A and B are shown apart, each in its own frame.
Chain A
Amino acid sequence: MMREQVIIQTISTSKRGQQTFFQTKLPKDTQRIIGIETGLYVLNVPDNFIPAQELSKLVRRNNLMGVVQLRANTKPDVFCSKEIFERDINIGADEVKIIPSLIRKDEKIDPPDGNRFDYFTHWTHGAKREEDPLDVCGCTVVNGLYKDSIGEYFQTDVNYKVMLYIWIERKVNQQ
């Protein structure tokens, strides 16, 4: 009987350009890796870190937190490489823009646009989340490398945690 399970790996970063090597041991009865998900906790940010919701009016670059790469212990190749973004700040960029005439006259006030959903874009525009599908057999240990990018970009230390979720398929004896 096959059973799906998720293994969680936490990657903590606190220094600019920090590289983190990690190993994640999988259960002995793991048949294959079937998917990867990632998450993010931003713990402490410096003053010059610009929150993404303020980058409105234009289509702007998303804040790239870093890149994670994964290798299986039995093979030399990277089987997964993923960029971790703080969030998608352009998710509402193609929305119809309604600019009331009162606001339009006053140039000091920024007209509302599709990116002005503040923190709720995941709720208004978000889809159902699913893992990135993979099919990696014969892996007992995942060797990973995470490299910070956001600290390099802002030239300062940003303290955050990247969560890595490795979905596996296990062979379980049915009793």
Chain B
Amino acid sequence: MLYYRGSQKVEINKEEIFPENYESKLLLSGINVSPNNRYYDLGNQPAGNGTIKVEYKDSNDSRAVFAPYRVSLYVECVLQ
């Protein structure tokens, strides 16, 4: 569902990482990719205030008729 219909805007520490309408499937890896390599590398993006703001948008696509679904975001971070 997310693959065909999803897009989102992502902000970290009030800095826009992905703009509105950036498709979710571009951030998605299949199970062929090992779990540690599935993360999208932001290149040591500072956590700042530690707030990640996500605006997820579901758009119509005739290849996937809408049904309720859940979207999960996994963030890899370094703790001091």
Contacts and interface: CB of A to CB of B under 8 A. Distances in A.
Given A42-B61, A43-B60, A43-B62, A122 B21 contact: no
B31 A129 contact: no
A126 B62 CA distance: 21
Q: Give the size category of B's interface with A.
A: 20 to 34
A157 to B, nearest CB: 13
A124 B33 CA distance: 10
A15 to B, nearest CB: 17
Contacts of A125: 30, 32
Contacts, number: 64
A129 B29 contact: yes
Nearest to B59: A41
A127 B30 CA distance: 5
Interface residues of A, number: 23
A45 B63 CA distance: 9
Interface in B17-32: 18-23, 25-32
Given A10-B21, A127-B32, 19 more contacts: A6-B19, A6-B22, A7-B19, A8-B19, A37-B26, A39-B23, A39-B25, A42-B61, A43-B60, A44-B62, A45-B62, A119-B64, A125-B30, A126-B33, A127-B29, A128-B29, A128-B33, A129-B29, A165-B22
Interface of B: 3-4, 18-23, 25-33, 37-38, 59-64
15 contacts: A8-B19, A8-B21, A37-B26, A39-B23, A43-B61, A43-B62, A45-B62, A119-B63, A119-B64, A123-B31, A127-B29, A127-B32, A128-B29, A128-B38, A129-B29
